[in-house]
A and B are shown apart, each in its own frame.
Chain A
Amino acid sequence: MDCRQARQLYSLWLDGVLPSREAAALHSHLSGCGACLRELEDWETLRLLVQELGVTTVSAPPGFAAAVMERVRCLPVVTPGGARGRLAGVPWRQAAAGLAAAALLALGWNAVTPGPSQPPLELAEHRAQEVSPSKAPAGASETEDIASPTSPATADPGAAGTDSAPRTTTPANSGTAPTAVKVAEAPLSPVAFLSKERIIRSTMLRLEVDNLSRAQAEAENLGSRFGAEAEVAVRQEQGEQGYVILRFVVDEDDAATFIQSAAGQGRELDRQEDAVDVTGRFAAAVEQYEQLVAQLNGPLSLQEKEGMRRDIAALEQQLTQWDSEAGRHVVILWLQRP
């Protein structure tokens, strides 16, 4: 066991959950490595200090509960009994859609695709459900959230030493029922990603249009002319509030022309531009991804492996998406009725 391998076991050791075989191996390494022993002691010192911080309790300020109730009284009144009330102030769906649109700009699908244990998002009035990036939610009611991932890129052709185990990946938007990534029984090797700067530039354009369906179709045609497939993030068509949010990825050289053409479809209400440097996050996600793949090939229960495979697939999808979008331009087109 080398020092790098030893360090990966520190947490489990400190928490007393390291399996006995690895514990013995770590103990043996620590017996002969003063540097690792000191570092582990540092970790333990910090763990205790952090524990001490947890002793701090904080009371909510006077009036906190009243302030919460004041806020919830302004929310759309969808009581458990089903009665509906008029929205107060700015329609919260628009505010929520704006929040989702902003999240889509910078972070991609993972920011707004709910996981199995997350509470319902503001956008969706349907119940919290397990939604993987490759699966459409079942039972979506009047608010339809469709997370359609971009086609996953293959391993970087410049990467050396990639000995990928045979895997089958259902391509996105194949028209068939989407499935999770299948992983062969052979040991899994991680997809290799180049280490480089990754900046994702984006523009959110909000337009008022008379006919949502027609505007969406025109936008999709426009996207096709630029080689960009439209991905529907949110569609809300019932009731007074109707909007649809589409996501495109175009070449940076085409972005200005595309945006100008799209803007001509309706009355421009809002435009926001952003550039997000995901280099650091990408590197951290790669490290986590590689670590998970390494752990997957270790002695784990079936349940742990299943969960880990889902996480690996989600990470791989996010990394592939960031990789393909860095250096290009993401356009979020938000079409809404007057």
Chain B
Amino acid sequence: MNNTDSRGLVERFRRGDWTAFEEIVAGYQDRVFTQCYHLTGNYADAQDLAQEVFVRAFRGLASFRGDAELGTWLHRIAVNLFLNWRKGRRTAATVVSIDETRDTGEGVLQWQLAGDCEDPTEVMDREQRRQLVREAIARLPRDFRAVLILRDMEGHSYEDIAQILGCSLGTVKSRLNRARKALRDTYAELSSQAGLAPWE
């Protein structure tokens, strides 16, 4: 959904047409769901978080100023909700085996496809490392997790991240640095526990 379409929908919603919100949900649900999956690390929590994102959006849409693209605004809601996520929610990553089929029955996970010419053992090794990274990310404090995901998974600029998190550029820089260090240390520990040399 492009910016013009979303602006039109917001205007319709403001005029009392609630079906416009239904269209917004339909248009952004996959994007929001993916972001929530990255943040929470598991499908069930992603479902809860994504639903909450749209409920919050519904409450705030009438006063949405349009200074950010609607997708970015929804993303901001998702990250801030995640950072204040209620205790007791599962936040650990569900490590998904490479042997699972892509269709989980609840949704479709699209894995990065291996190239035709790649050695299967290399593919296995890389997937194993990805799983360890997922687990390491899931063990990080939420503010570290959020900034890592925003920067390295979703490719946002430092300025965008500052806007999404509502903090200064300096905070983004220092937090990202500390997050990457924490990730490195955690990943090394998990690799060691798994009997893997972490950096080969």
* Partner-B contacts on A (CB < 8 A): 7-12, 14-15, 17, 38-39, 41-43, 45-47, 49-61, 64-65, 67-69, 71-72, 75, 79-81, 99, 103, 111, 115-120, 122, 127-128, 284, 287-288, 291-292, 295-296, 300, 304, 307-308, 310-311
Closest to A114 in B: B166
CB pair B112 A52 closer than 8 Å: yes
Tell me whether chain A's interface is mostly helix, strand or loop, or mixed: helix
Besides the contacts A71-B51, A287-B178, what 11 more A-B pairs have beta carbons closer than 8 Å? A42-B199, A46-B187, A53-B137, A56-B37, A57-B34, A58-B43, A59-B108, A60-B107, A99-B86, A115-B166, A284-B141
CB pair A50 B133 closer than 8 Å: yes
The list of the 3 closest CB pairs from A to B, nearest first, reads: A307-B168, A54-B153, A115-B166
Closest to A130 in B: B166
Residues from chain B with Cβ under 8 Å of A307 in the complex? 162, 167-171
CB pair A56 B109 closer than 8 Å: yes
A111, A118, A128, A304, most chain B CB atoms within 10 A: A118
CB pair A53 B50 closer than 8 Å: no
Tell me whether chain B's interface is mostly helix, strand or loop, or mixed: helix
Does B84 touch A at the CB level, under 8 Å? yes
CB pair B110 A65 closer than 8 Å: no
Report Cα–Cα, A122/B55, bound state, in Å: 10
CB pair A119 B171 closer than 8 Å: no
Report Cα–Cα, A116/B167, bound state, in Å: 9
CB pair A46 B180 closer than 8 Å: yes
Report Cα–Cα, A213/B178, bound state, in Å: 47
Report Cα–Cα, A98/B87, bound state, in Å: 14
Report Cα–Cα, A111/B73, bound state, in Å: 20
CB pair A50 B152 closer than 8 Å: yes
Knowing A65-B26, A119-B77, A127-B63 touch, does A52 contact B166 (C-beta < 8 A)? Answer: no
Output the least CB separation between A87 and chain B (Å). Answer: 13
- B153's partner among A17, A45, A53, A65 (CB-CB below 8 A) is A53
- B38's partner among A9, A54, A59, A61 (CB-CB below 8 A) is A54
Closest to A106 in B: B87
Closest to B183 in A: A46
A45, A50, A117, most chain B CB atoms within 10 A: A50
- B51's partner among A59, A67, A288, A300 (CB-CB below 8 A) is A67
Count of chain B residues near A, Cβ 8 A: 82
Output the least CB separation between A306 and chain B (Å). Answer: 8
Does B94 touch A at the CB level, under 8 Å? no
Knowing A46-B184, A50-B153, A68-B51 touch, does A56 contact B16 (C-beta < 8 A)? Answer: no
Closest to A54 in B: B153
Residues from chain A with Cβ under 8 Å of B54 in the complex? 68, 72
Knowing A68-B25, A81-B16 touch, does A58 contact B109 (C-beta < 8 A)? Answer: yes
Closest to B36 in A: A58
- A56's partner among B21, B34, B56 (CB-CB below 8 A) is B34
A-B contact pairs, 23 of them (CB 8 A): A15-B158, A42-B199, A46-B184, A50-B183, A51-B152, A53-B38, A54-B153, A58-B43, A58-B110, A60-B33, A64-B47, A72-B55, A79-B16, A79-B18, A80-B62, A115-B166, A118-B166, A119-B77, A287-B178, A288-B171, A291-B178, A295-B174, A308-B170
Report Cα–Cα, A311/B168, bound state, in Å: 7
Does B106 touch A at the CB level, under 8 Å? yes
Output the least CB separation between B17 and chain A (Å). Answer: 9
Query: Digit string of B178-193 for contact with A (CB within 8 Å is 1, else 0)?
Result: 1011011001100000
Q: Which residues of B148-183 are within 8 A (CB) of A?
A: 148-149, 151-155, 158, 162-171, 173-178, 180-181, 183
CB pair A57 B30 closer than 8 Å: yes
Report Cα–Cα, A51/B47, bound state, in Å: 23
Report Cα–Cα, A50/B147, bound state, in Å: 12
Residues from chain B with Cβ under 8 Å of A43 in the complex? 180-181, 184
Knowing A118-B166, A122-B59, A311-B171 touch, does A59 contact B107 (C-beta < 8 A)? Answer: yes
Report Cα–Cα, A17/B158, bound state, in Å: 10
